[in-house]
Amino acid sequence: MTMFSIGEIIGLCLMALALAGGAVGTYNTIKNARGPRERAFTIRMFIACWILVACLLLALYVTQGRIRIGILIIFFILCPVLLYKWSTMQQLIHKLDQRENESPEDDDKPQPGA
């Protein structure tokens, strides 16, 4: 039986806490999606995010030395770019849903003062 050092125990506890926070954030974001198209996009986005995080953790576990630093640099450059792109796409989907849900009979009514 192997004994873990205090640093390893703290690291594992912090990783478990971060993963639990990510799971709660994922659930709440999917739950608060406004329409079916936005919800479907959000689910696809989070599947990709969780696969990306799993690949990062696996790569950090498998590699050693300076390669880990390169993997982290790539990850921390790639993540903000992806998050910006995905949030922009989600906003566009939300605006599209809003425009499609506007009632067309409102356009036929005469405007006051016109």
Residue 97 near residue 34 (C-beta atoms within 8 A) = yes
User: What's this model's pTM, rounded to 2 decimal places?
Assistant: 0.73
> Is the pLDDT confidence value at 24 over 90?
yes
pLDDT for res 98: 87
Share of the chain above pLDDT 70, in %: 89
Count Cβ neighbours within 10 Å for each residue of 29-43 and write b for 16 or more, e otherwise.
eeeebeeeebbebbe
pLDDT for res 58: 92
